[in-house]
Structure 1
Amino acid sequence: MSTYKRTTLEDEEVSEVVIEEGQMDGPEVGLSYRRLIDWNSTLIKKRSGLERVLFAVIFILSLVLLACVIVLIGNYQNDLSRTLCLTETCVQISGSILASVNRAVDPCEDFYKYACGGWVEKNPLPDGQSRWNNFNNLIDHNQAVIRNFLENKTMNVTSEAERKARKFYLACMHEERIEELGSKPLEDVIEKAGGWNITGPWDRNNFQEVLSFTSATYRATPFFSVYVGADARNSNSNVIQIDQSGLILPSRDYYLNASANGKVLEAYLTYMVDVGMLLGGQENSTREQMQQVLQLETAIANITSPQEDHRDEEAMYHRMSIAELQDLAPAVDWLSYLNVMFSPLSLNDCEPVVVYASEYLQAVSSLINNTDQSVLNNYMIWNLVKKVVSNLDHRFEDAGQNLLEAIYGSKKTCVSRWQECIEDTDSTLGFALGSMFIKAAFDQHSKNVAEGMIYEIRAAFESSLKNLHWMDEETRAAAKKKAEAIYNMIGFPDFIRDEEMLDKVFAEYEVLDEFFQNFLNFYNFSTKVMANQLRDPPSRDQWIMTPSTVNAYYSPSKNEIVFPAGILQAPFYEKNYPKSLNFGGIGVVMGHELTHAFDDQGREFDEAGNLRTWWKNSSIEAFKKQAECMVEQYSRYTINEEHLNGKQTLGENIADNGGLKAAYNAYRNWLMKHGEEKKLPAIELTNHQLFFVGFAQVWCSVRTLESAHEGIVVDSHSPARYRVIGTIANSREFSEHFACPYGSPMNPIKKCEVW
């Protein structure tokens, strides 16, 4: 190895620097370094002592300067790491948010376009879909998880209920067998019902029998619906409940507003005729008789209460005996009918029922008595046929494509068969599927975090009660008591984790290799389950949503909020997301469901889930005044020049507004307790602003014109755009953090606030 000497600025002593072999290329390199050193040494020796001191000072200052630069760079990087979240998750979500926003839009002018403009541009409607949003993305993900369980035989399917779910799914996927059977399974059902005048001979004196057969045995709903649920005035017991029903199209408006819905009515009649002919009817006769059925449905629509008038529980609730029901609507032999439905129970005239549409039942009874028996028969059988016909071969699905397109603006033919089959399996054995789903996609951490967030949001909601100027102190205290009593159900009902209990739930449901028959068996099974529930108290384990569902709900009779495992995922919640996004996502959903306990319907139920007047009259009147502000606000909004129905959507609008406020206050409280959190990189938004952007981007959505119209007519929720704009416009915190000018579209002079 070779060595060389180097001069330092501090003295002329030489230090040795060792150069490893292979770092230099031999003697010539070494010689050149020696020459350089010699030259420098000579140069320095020629300088005066003062000059050499100056050289040393300059050299030391240079080192100090270099050190300062290095320290500054390090401090800058440290400052960035202290103020910015630079994890992989934060970088990814930053990219997603930036791709979804439209920075060219002023957020104070149109916050939905600002938050979702980029998303809408990048997400055209997929084939076969009438609308698309972040819910659909998550639904697809959940279905893919379940599909893997159902199709992968190596997956651990341990319970008999799970095996039934797999068998049901595979029967649905066995299209060759379905095609082979054709219409025969449904023709056999019609024959058991006594025939159908459209396809062959029928028994003219069997109205009562056909009514029982179609609705009691196979759960169709001609004329009215019958079900079992908690008695609204005594939530600890179940009772038979009866309500208006009987329409095939999504809403009464489609029948009654022919000028706006002529295309739908024409497509519906064509579909009715096509199905009748596929089942053996002759074209002219089938068309004539189906036209009569359509006229009867239109008459039923005419006596059906509009959705916005069917919201006042106290006004609708009528408890009576079967004997009194018989006097109210004598066209039906109610005791005979209900005994068939609730077999093997034996009911008598004193059995209580709760009627939610007494005027409707009176009117429909009169309609039945004044309608030809053949038309009644055709209508009841058609009601059953429409319920089950989609489970037959492809001809029947093809027959419905034009009707789907007329109502929703898209055909179903582009939807994958496996997705349809998972939806069908979820509708029958959803809790068995849920058992599979939570094994693969849900962890205890998510449940624990969700419980903590609910506690924080409930605390924020309760705290805000004291600021409500319109509520008296006695009612305020009762409202706080109700909020404290709300029960949280998160992820899944406990019984699905117990194989023995899960198997017991579905023990009497027989699943075969025949897809159509599996549905008939399920209808019969669900009727038996309903009969068993009548004498049992309501159960918290009885959820109306399955675990993989991307949704949530509030139950007024149980005073509980339910969040299935399916929604506790991105974009609503992700454990590594900033708290601003989690509170703006699942936090707002939680606040939304909690606020439902105090919307125009939920407020009528007390902390125990009983329907009673627990508010002082002054607060009831003040509530109605506050709510009317929202009715007027949302009724001014339009989609394709069609106004929203602010009365129909009132409950959801109250929940949207209250949910955003509660979630934001909970987030603000979290910051006070834990300190400011790191920002996302490249976004140039404060975390408070990010909360609102995260909330808005949950609702980014596209849909067809027809689907938008259907939503206005049918949905109790406002369209996605106004779930954002309507709520934001009432938020003082939003206007503060985005510095929106007073009187701008997103900061109007008049704001509406209920909770």
Structure 2
Amino acid sequence: MKRYQAVRGGTGDLTKPDVNTRVQDNLYLAVNSKWQKDAVIPADRTEIGVNTAIDMRIEKRMMSDLDKMVSDNKVPAIKNLDKAVTLYKIAKDFAKRNKDGAAPIQADLKKLDALKDFAALNQDANELDEVYGLPFGFEVEADMKNTKVHVLEFAGPGTFLPDTTSYKQEDASKLLAILQKQTVKLLTMAGMSEEKAEKYVAAGLKFDQKLAKVVKSTEEWSDYPATYNPYSLSDFLAKIKSFAMRDFLKELLPALPDKVIVMEPRFLDHFEKLINPDNFDEIKGWMVIKFINGLSSSLSQEFREAGFPFSQALSGQGELIPQERHAYYVANGVFDEVLGIYYGKKYFGEEAKADVTDMIKKMINVYEDRIQNNDWLSENTKKKAIVKLRALVLKIGYPEKEKKIYDLLQVDPAKSLYENEKALSKITTKYAIDKLTKPVDRSVWLMPGNMNNACYDPQRNDITFPAGILQAPFYDLHQSRGQNYGGIGATIAHEISHAFDNNGAKFDEFGNMKNWWTDADFKEFNKRTQAAIDIYDGLSYGPSKLNGKQVVAENIADLGGLTCAIQANKVDKGSMKELFENYARSWAQKQRPEAIKTEIAVDVHAPQPTRVNIPSQCQDEFYETFDVKPSDGMWLDPEKRVRIW
């Protein structure tokens, strides 16, 4: 008999199918190897799997419906849907886009090219930021300490490579060389001399290298509460000497605030060293690189193709996204909530919504029971946790009303795609910034109805389940209870668990960052959180290894989600075998190696296949259901099983 060494995550490489694998040795491979063996990643995608299949189903429905609206010249009576259809039509008109070539961007490129010095940058900063983007950014969000009001947040820019850690990888210079070559080609296609283009790119890449040493890594960003660093406006401005920040903010904001939340204190400390007259050429080069690469997809097919190699190198994607799907992404990128309402009304029924709502309420009851019977929390912390749990706001399917921004957006069919996107972006940015002096609208949804995803918002204490995710294999009215709990049930409890993960645990029932724990309880929670970090840290997947700290919040949610789904399934007398099998099936995924590498660098989620075995190994019911023995690959000694919620 073949013996396996029991390890975290089971035995075997999750990227390599083995149809002979037993559940007892590797749950993921046992359930998914047959599919994985025959699965083919489409040339225009980076992966294939359950989630990709759902995405493709949604996209196919939406593109077909949009095409019919265009051909019939008839749009359903959903507010602002006609604007989305018009933008889709403009984006899909490649005859015009190809004829226009670089013409739509000529004026803006010449204006950037003519920017002569740092004084000019200071003088025209707001206009430059609107069109090209400056190497810092402001956002308006709910104040973490008082979620009834908005606050101004400040952060640095992203880097050209996926993450700051990417610059330490062996292939960093190769990737940057691809970006360099691509950018020079795009600039020369737009009419710039090759010599000038090369100078801009060389200078911009130098500035990017400086940024990479200062801005936050994905691991650092994963600590959400650590982004809350309030500065008085005067203290904030005192850090900045050369750039006319007060003048910039006066023009940007409806009113100057008393404080600024600095999300990246290290970047602010280095701001003066980065943004100054001596670095002007590098800043300008960085803006040129960002501008020309960011808009290449808004121009002709030739520009789209010329702007593809760097993305291709990062993702391994074999072919450019087809024109029709690209056009859908453009329209959905601007009018996602409008299109989501359309999708929800057409494809998500009231019966399904009622059933999912019932499952969520049952899951909340299960969660309350688990907290009440928790053996490591004090009564005081338990009571406060239950108050937070009961205050959860449920958002299921799609919103009843859309955000007011969509009434402000206008699409002009006589103008190019680039001109429309530029105008739309300006309105969207102003709308977002103008929230600063307005109360927080807690009814806002973070996800549209046509999205295959779900989320928890710690500052609103709400959970959102768009219509897009509420389909097989995650959920189906005709699936067994065990299958539904292994799919959407675990996902529901996953999102609830985010209210009590290492980030969510620091916010109260109103979404305010407030400590509601006893010291002893929080010490024990941190000990268990560290166990969740350790069990994933260094786990191999394809060409990369997981960073346990970076993905800990999502892994806490996975562990709690599966545990609670199992308990709810027991209450409903569902099949435990079906639950575990559908849980494994719902995370089936086959990715290109380049995509794995990029995902692990930038995502706070572990790759989908790695989210199956460890949560299952930490459930006693898994061992009982499949008679797992200490000699089996999926065995974890009881004392090594991570238990939080």
1:115 lines up with 2:36 in the alignment? no
1:586 lines up with 2:463 in the alignment? no
Matches within 5 A, 1:250-329: 250-254=162-166, 256-329=167-240
Alignment-derived partner of residue 372 in structure 1: 279
1:222 lines up with 2:126 in the alignment? no
Structure 1 residue corresponding to 2:350, chosen from 438, 444, 454? 444
Alignment-derived partner of residue 394 in structure 1: 301
Alignment-derived partner of residue 64 in structure 1: none
8 Å contact kept, 1:211–1:380: no
Alignment-derived partner of residue 551 in structure 2: 649
Alignment-derived partner of residue 751 in structure 1: 641
Alignment-derived partner of residue 50 in structure 2: 134
SS of the residue 1:554 aligns to: strand
Alignment-derived partner of residue 208 in structure 1: 122
Q: 1:102 to 1:581 in 2, by over 3 A?
A: farther
SS of the residue 2:246 aligns to: helix
Query: Could you report, residue by residue, the CA deviation over 1:179-231 in whole angstroms, capped at 9, with x for unpaired residues?
Result: 1111121122234xx332xxx6745532224542243x24x653222111110
Alignment-derived partner of residue 489 in structure 1: 395
Structure 1 residue corresponding to 2:616, chosen from 703, 722, 728? 728
SS of the residue 2:464 aligns to: strand
Higher deviation after alignment, 119-128 or 403-412? 403-412
Q: Which of these two proteins has the greater Rg computed from alpha carbons?
A: 1
Q: 1:730 to 1:209 in 2, by over 3 A?
A: farther
Alignment-derived partner of residue 231 in structure 1: 143
Query: CA separation in 2, counterparts of 1:412 and 1:440?
Result: 32
Deviation of 1:448 after TM superposition, in Å, equals 0.9
Query: Could you report, residue by residue, the CA deviation over 1:555-611 in whole angstroms, capped at 9, with x for unpaired residues?
Result: 000000001111111111111111111111111111111101111111111111001
8 Å contact kept, 1:235–1:609: yes
Alignment-derived partner of residue 708 in structure 1: 596
Q: 1:452 to 1:330 in 2, by over 3 A?
A: farther
Query: CA separation in 2, counterparts of 1:296 and 1:402?
Result: 22
Query: Could you report, residue by residue, the CA deviation over 1:232-257 in whole angstroms, capped at 9, with x for unpaired residues?
Result: 00011111111232423321222x21
* Pairwise CA RMSD: 2.0
- Using the aligned pairs only, state the percent identity: 23
8 Å contact kept, 2:152–2:259: yes
SS of the residue 2:261 aligns to: strand
Query: CA separation in 2, counterparts of 1:712 and 1:635?
Result: 12
Alignment-derived partner of residue 566 in structure 1: 468
Query: CA separation in 2, counterparts of 1:102 and 1:375?
Result: 51
Query: CA separation in 2, counterparts of 1:506 and 1:619?
Result: 46
Gap runs ≥5 in structure 1 = 1-100, 497-501, 672-676, 678-686
Gap runs ≥5 in structure 2 = 1-16
Q: 1:366 to 1:266 in 2, by over 3 A?
A: same
Q: 1:183 to 1:209 in 2, by over 3 A?
A: farther
Deviation of 1:467 after TM superposition, in Å, equals 4.1
8 Å contact kept, 1:125–1:132: yes
Structure 2 residue corresponding to 1:240, chosen from 152, 173, 180? 152
Query: Could you report, residue by residue, the CA deviation over 1:492-541 in whole angstroms, capped at 9, with x for unpaired residues?
Result: 11104xxxxx7x54222110122111211111110221133222222233
1:422 lines up with 2:328 in the alignment? yes
Deviation of 1:102 after TM superposition, in Å, equals 6.9
8 Å contact kept, 1:552–1:564: yes
Query: Could you report, residue by residue, the CA deviation over 1:347-380 in whole angstroms, capped at 9, with x for unpaired residues?
Result: 23x5332111122112133222274322222222
Structure 2 residue corresponding to 1:124, chosen from 40, 57, 60? 40
TM-score normalized by the length of structure 2? 0.92
Query: CA separation in 2, counterparts of 1:557 and 1:404?
Result: 33
Query: Could you report, residue by residue, the CA deviation over 1:233-289 in whole angstroms, capped at 9, with x for unpaired residues?
Result: 0011111111232423321222x2152433312211212222222222222332233
TM-score normalized by the length of structure 1? 0.79
Counterpart AA for 1:222? L
1:146 lines up with 2:57 in the alignment? no
Deviation of 1:293 after TM superposition, in Å, equals 0.8
Alignment-derived partner of residue 674 in structure 1: none
Structure 1 residue corresponding to 2:383, chosen from 454, 477, 500? 477
Q: 1:250 to 1:290 in 2, by over 3 A?
A: same
SS of the residue 2:309 aligns to: helix
Matched pairs, number: 622
Query: CA separation in 1, counterparts of 2:285 and 2:47?
Result: 34
Query: CA separation in 1, counterparts of 2:433 and 2:517?
Result: 35
Counterpart AA for 2:28? Y
8 Å contact kept, 1:322–1:352: yes
Which has the higher relative contact order, 1 or 2, with Cα contacts under 8 A spaced 6 or more apart? Answer: 2
Matches within 5 A, 1:29-68: none
Query: CA separation in 1, counterparts of 2:79 and 2:29?
Result: 49
Query: CA separation in 2, counterparts of 1:210 and 1:128?
Result: 40
SS of the residue 2:456 aligns to: strand
8 Å contact kept, 1:210–1:377: no
1:182 lines up with 2:101 in the alignment? yes
1:162 lines up with 2:81 in the alignment? yes
Query: CA separation in 2, counterparts of 1:209 and 1:587?
Result: 55
8 Å contact kept, 1:556–1:605: yes
Alignment-derived partner of residue 435 in structure 1: 341
Query: Could you report, residue by residue, the CA deviation over 1:410-459 in whole angstroms, capped at 9, with x for unpaired residues?
Result: 1442x321111111111101122123212320111121111111111111
Alignment-derived partner of residue 698 in structure 1: 586
8 Å contact kept, 2:183–2:292: no
Counterpart AA for 2:377? M
SS of the residue 2:137 aligns to: strand
Query: CA separation in 1, counterparts of 2:30 and 2:144?
Result: 44
Query: CA separation in 1, counterparts of 2:125 and 2:39?
Result: 46
Deviation of 1:710 after TM superposition, in Å, equals 0.9
8 Å contact kept, 2:388–2:508: yes
Query: CA separation in 2, counterparts of 1:735 and 1:278?
Result: 62
Query: CA separation in 2, counterparts of 1:630 and 1:332?
Result: 44
Query: CA separation in 2, counterparts of 1:614 and 1:743?
Result: 43
SS of the residue 1:577 aligns to: coil
Query: CA separation in 1, counterparts of 2:615 and 2:242?
Result: 47
Query: CA separation in 2, counterparts of 1:314 and 1:379?
Result: 30
